[in-house]
Structure 1
Amino acid sequence: MYHQLTYLYLQYTLENKKIERLTKCPLCKSGLFLNHTEITDFAVSKESFILCKCTKCQLVFTNPRPTETAIQPYYDFPEYYSHNNEGKSLTSVIYGQVRNLAISKKYKLVESLNTEKSILDIGCGTGDFLKYVQDKGWTVKGLEPNKKARTQASEKLGVKVLKSLEKLDEKQKFGVITLFHVLEHIHELKKGLKSIITSLLSNGYIIIAVPNHESKDAEKYGKYWAGWDVPRHLYHFNDSSIEYLAEKYDLEIIDKKPMVFDSYYVSLLSEKYQNPEASVISNYSKSVIAGFKSNRAASKSGNYSSNLYILRKK
């Protein structure tokens, strides 16, 4: 009876264009993919979503998925931190502190690249990173779909922050384009990547940071792993699928770096999803241990909770 109701609901949403079913892999366009697993949206809707795995490029992707116009409500919750600087919970306070540390590390990374000091941050949130970079003398541009965050970022920077990739000026080129946990959210992957590459200077760099479903914390938490974050995360990458992406779009991966803070934060959310009745102290202590173990394992395997890739045009 349950599966029948699920099927009927899916058919209803498909007919009303709230859900779209992909018939080809969004990265390599192969029609050969298999059901990989089923994951619950613990953060918002409590709905379940199927993940498929492409047999050619190894990309895991959410399918079926909400359409681009129907997905916004899945982002509208108080603790979606990249859109919110006002969280009062302990988790949001810790996230804010880690974010501040990460901002300086991100700047050191982009500053080390030998290119023009102009940057486009796609998914810039409330603009904290761009403000830091702007204060260092860089020319900055941001893109943020969320209206509230976009307004805050525009006011903070004194520069108009764009709503979508379609609003980019093809004549404006950037030395660095950053996508920190953004690539997995772009509905039109091919169109989006082409637009991004078009906006890059010939000697410029693209920085992509994505969750890694082959990490030790993903293995530990399984269906409760917060890095799945369905349906907001449309794609779930590993090294193989990022390498395929680079080759397909004539990009070269020049470096790969770990994002060591992510294992602790993702483990904390995963603990809350797995043990919603557990005490705060229990969840925090377990997440610290899980994050440490994940990073220790990754120091040998390279499979950190999130990996950062630096790419340039061939």
Structure 2
Amino acid sequence: MNKKIDFYKNLEPFLECKDYTVSGELYHVKKNTEFDMLVTVPVPKNLGDYYKSENYISHTDSKKSVLDKVYQSLKNITLKRKLKLINSFGTSTKNILDVGAGTGDFLKVCKDNSWNVFGTEPDLDARNIAAKKEIILHEDLSKIKKSKFDVITLWHVLEHVENLQEYISELENLLSEKGRLIIAVPNYKSYDAKYYKQHWAAFDVPRHLWHFSQTSIPKLFSEVDMIVENTLPMKFDAYYVSLLSEKYKSGKMNPVKSFQKGFTSNLKAKDTNEYSSLIYLLKKQ
């Protein structure tokens, strides 16, 4: 990227969201019209502290609550789909980097299927859980020694990174010339996002700093001469996010209504492609 982009310039009011996971604090979610994306303000100086909760499930393998069990069940299904996706690229060297690998389940599946696995995860507890699965994760990208990767994946990670512009540039540098970059992020233009509004679980302030659309991802990555090759839905996300959103909105679980809203979101997305979460497949131009 040539010039420094100020994502916080000329923001327009959008809505106010509550941190339901850790602090109960309120944050503004404002719109950056240039990139058609939303921005969380302010960013806490001690952002790492906002991940320290048993409720932050991607950093644990917990199966205590109903939500935990739903998440873990869906995770097992989606892991198989993710593996099928990366295998479809037909790369011979099979070097993969998973950024924000959590407790290492995806890389474990990759490793068991003959991929050479590398990963990062900033949370120490999550790294320790991954290590018990014989998946060694580094704290951040600066610790990665391998220079180029055939596949780089970020499963619901890009919305968390603080230095967005620099991070995108770094990802491009790590990708081989014919490699694929897989970015999975929530979609704030989905039906479930519009229905639940400030209660939409995928806003997840302040941990989610950015909220992307199908316009913003291609525009952001065009800055490093990358293009979106394909866009795929994550249909299960509509159900899980609706289940959590319903809890935030009403104070209690409502599985029937949550299922209805998730189903409606996926049904409407058949025409609009505005699924609750989307996978972007990117490559170098």
* TM-score for the superposition, normalised by structure 1: 0.86
How many angstroms does 1:30 deviate by?
A: 7.3
240, 243, 246: which one aligns with 1:271: 246
1:132-183 residue CA offsets vs partner (Å, 9 max, x unmatched): 11000010011101101111213313x53110122222x5211000000000
Which secondary structure does the structure 2 equivalent of 1:65 belong to? Answer: coil
1:104 aligned to 2:75?
A: no
How many angstroms does 1:28 deviate by?
A: 6.0
63, 68, 72: which one aligns with 1:92: 68
Give the match for residue 42 of structure 1: 20
Alpha-carbon distance in 2 for matches of 1:245, 1:164: 21
Which secondary structure does the structure 1 equivalent of 2:203 belong to? Answer: coil
User: Match of 2:279, as an amino acid?
Assistant: L
Q: Is the contact made by 1:30 and 1:56 (CA closer than 8 Å) also made in structure 2?
A: no
* TM-score for the superposition, normalised by structure 2: 0.95
The runs of at least 4 consecutive aligned structure 1 residues that moved more than 4 Å come to 26-30
Report matched runs for 1:97-246 at 5 Å.
97-115=73-91, 116-157=93-134, 159-169=135-145, 171-246=146-221
Q: Is the contact made by 2:8 and 2:39 (CA closer than 8 Å) also made in structure 1?
A: no
- Stretches of structure 2 that go unaligned for 5 or more consecutive residues are none
Give the match for residue 292 of structure 1: 263
Matched length: 281
Q: CA RMSD in A?
A: 1.5
How many angstroms does 1:224 deviate by?
A: 0.5
Q: Relative contact order (alpha carbons < 8 A, sep ≥ 6): 1 or 2 greater?
A: 2
53, 57, 74: which one aligns with 1:81: 57
Query: Larger radius of gyration, structure 1 or 2?
Result: 1
User: Match of 2:53, as an amino acid?
Assistant: F
The range that moved more, 228-237 or 75-84, is: 75-84
Alpha-carbon distance in 2 for matches of 1:167, 1:304: 34
How many angstroms does 1:304 deviate by?
A: 0.2
How many angstroms does 1:113 deviate by?
A: 1.0
Alpha-carbon distance in 2 for matches of 1:87, 1:123: 21
Give the match for residue 72 of structure 1: 48
Alpha-carbon distance in 1 for matches of 2:264, 2:228: 27
User: Match of 1:113, as an amino acid?
Assistant: F
Alpha-carbon distance in 1 for matches of 2:37, 2:266: 23
Percent identical among aligned pairs is: 41
Q: Is the contact made by 1:28 and 1:57 (CA closer than 8 Å) also made in structure 2?
A: no
Q: Is the contact made by 1:205 and 1:312 (CA closer than 8 Å) also made in structure 2?
A: yes
Alpha-carbon distance in 1 for matches of 2:195, 2:227: 32
Q: Is the contact made by 1:119 and 1:175 (CA closer than 8 Å) also made in structure 2?
A: yes
Alpha-carbon distance in 1 for matches of 2:8, 2:59: 34
Which secondary structure does the structure 1 equivalent of 2:126 belong to? Answer: helix
Q: Is the contact made by 2:168 and 2:221 (CA closer than 8 Å) also made in structure 1?
A: no
Alpha-carbon distance in 2 for matches of 1:196, 1:151: 25
Give the match for residue 3 of structure 1: none
Give the match for residue 58 of structure 1: 36
Alpha-carbon distance in 1 for matches of 2:73, 2:63: 12
Alpha-carbon distance in 2 for matches of 1:32, 1:210: 24
User: Match of 2:274, as an amino acid?
Assistant: N
1:289-312 residue CA offsets vs partner (Å, 9 max, x unmatched): 110000000011000000100001
User: Match of 1:201, as an amino acid?
Assistant: S
User: Match of 2:41, as an amino acid?
Assistant: N
Q: Is the contact made by 1:120 and 1:141 (CA closer than 8 Å) also made in structure 2?
A: yes
